[in-house]
Amino acid sequence: MSFQEIKSKAELSKFVESYWSYQSITTNPLILLPDGTFNILIAKAPFTFLGIEFPSGIYLVPILTNPIQLATKHQLIGIRCKAFSMVNIVGKKVHLLAAITPIEAIIDQKSVIQCQLTNNQNYFHIQELVPDLENFMFNLLRRRFDLNENLRSQVNYILDRKGDVRISNLCQDFGISRQALHKSFSTSLGISPKELAMVWRLNHCLTLTNQTLSLTETALDSGFFDQAHSINTFKKQWNFSPTQFQKLNPTVFEFSRQSMINRFKNLYDPEI
């Protein structure tokens, strides 16, 4: 099983964090953790989610609040996109998104999905596919390159604080009511500001798991009251603790953890 990732560059880096690929030769599923991003998923062969087989194709995986597991022995390609860019792609159809949504269900122009990305050929290096992935993203955006800067700033406000924020402080700093903020996030991202903050708090805790800090120090540094509070929150939100996830699938754990570290260090910031 292996992961590859290439950071997005140039103009698309405002919208896209990275391009990634996953190849498994085992029966272990690919676990996509909530991380405050959404993914365009290119399946080169059928895969299974919740016991349902999905055919090869292109799918949108929204901003998650719970992990999802995809079973496949074939290559999966992903375009990981920044939260605030969802409205540029989906528009007002966020409410139509399921955990796995065929791209044609939300994109009207069939020409957008008529590409070679879903052929049966496997790519040893993700770099080989980047030009096609970039062209696909440009078509998907359909010249909607102007970001909602207020939404972008509000999302980054939560990210910069690793989710350890009070929503009342965010509202005060941006001069917006709680109701208006909640509506903006729900209609543009499909997730509330409180849910996004919790995702990034849990992500921050996960990034500290392999460091020399004790479990109590890790919990406190992530904004939890104590070790028990952090573990109980993980299990309530994700059904497993960081240690259990690490044992369940070490490769997926380390890839997810490293991408979270990169995000908190602003390594996915736009190229200038």
- Please report the pLDDT score of residue 269 as a whole number: 93
Helices (H) and strands (E) in the chain, counts: 10, 10
- Region of poorest pLDDT, from 94-98, 102-106, 112-116, 157-161: 112-116
- Region of poorest pLDDT, from 4-13, 132-141, 243-252: 243-252
Q: Which amino acid is at 229?
A: H
Shared domain check, 115 and 14: yes
Give the residues across from 31 on adjacent strands. 69
DSSP code string of 101-161: EEGGGT---GGGG-SSTTSS---SSGGGGHHHHHHHHHHHHTT-----HHHHHHHHHHHHT
> Quick one: how far is CA 30 from the chain centroid?
13
Q: Is residue 133 part of a domain?
A: yes
Query: How confident is the model over 47-60, as a mean pLDDT?
Result: 94
pLDDT tens column, 216-267: 555 556 566 557 677 777 788 888 777 788 887 888 888 999 999 999 999 9
- Please report the pLDDT score of residue 144 as a whole number: 87
Query: How confident is the model over 183-201, as a mean pLDDT?
Result: 96
Instruction: Indicate if the pLDDT at residue 77 is higher than 90.
Output: yes
Shared domain check, 161 and 125: no
Shared domain check, 166 and 223: yes
Q: What integer best gives the mean pLDDT of the chain?
A: 86
- Please report the pLDDT score of residue 29 as a whole number: 84
pTM: 0.90
Q: Find all residues with CB under 8 Å of 149, minimum gap 6, and list them.
A: none
Query: How confident is the model over 131-147, as a mean pLDDT?
Result: 89
Instruction: Indicate if the pLDDT at residue 111 is higher than 50.
Output: no
Higher pLDDT among residues 173 and 3, named by residue: 173
- Region of poorest pLDDT, from 53-57, 121-125, 126-130: 121-125
Domain housing 62 = 2-141
- Please report the pLDDT score of residue 184 as a whole number: 97
b/e string for 45-63 if b means 16 or more Cβ within 10 A?
Answer: eebebeeeebeebbbbbbb
Shared domain check, 107 and 41: yes
- Please report the pLDDT score of residue 207 as a whole number: 86
- Region of poorest pLDDT, from 15-19, 61-65, 200-204: 200-204
Give dist(CA 74, CA 72) in Å, integer: 5
Evaluated on CA atoms 127, 132, 136, 139, the torsion sign reads positive
Q: Confirm if 88 and 141 have CB atoms less than 8 A apart.
A: yes
Shared domain check, 185 and 230: yes
Nearest one of 59, 40, 38 to 49, comparing CA atoms: 59
Shared domain check, 212 and 159: yes
Q: Domain of 59: which CATH number?
A: 2.60.120
Give dist(CA 98, CA 59) in Å, integer: 10
Q: Is residue 269 part of a domain?
A: no
Phi, psi of 146 (to 5 degrees): -90, 115
Beta strands in 24-121 (DSSP E): 30-32, 37-43, 47-49, 52-54, 57-61, 68-70, 76-82, 101-102
Phi, psi of 240 (to 5 degrees): -155, 160
Q: Could you say which of 117, 141, 165 is where a domain stops?
A: 141
Q: Domain of 169: which CATH number?
A: 1.10.10.60
Q: Looking at the 3D structure of the chain, how many domains does it have?
A: 2
- In the sheet with 2-7, reading across from the earlier edge strand, the strands are 2-7, 16-23, 76-82, 37-43, 57-61, 101-102
Shared domain check, 240 and 204: yes
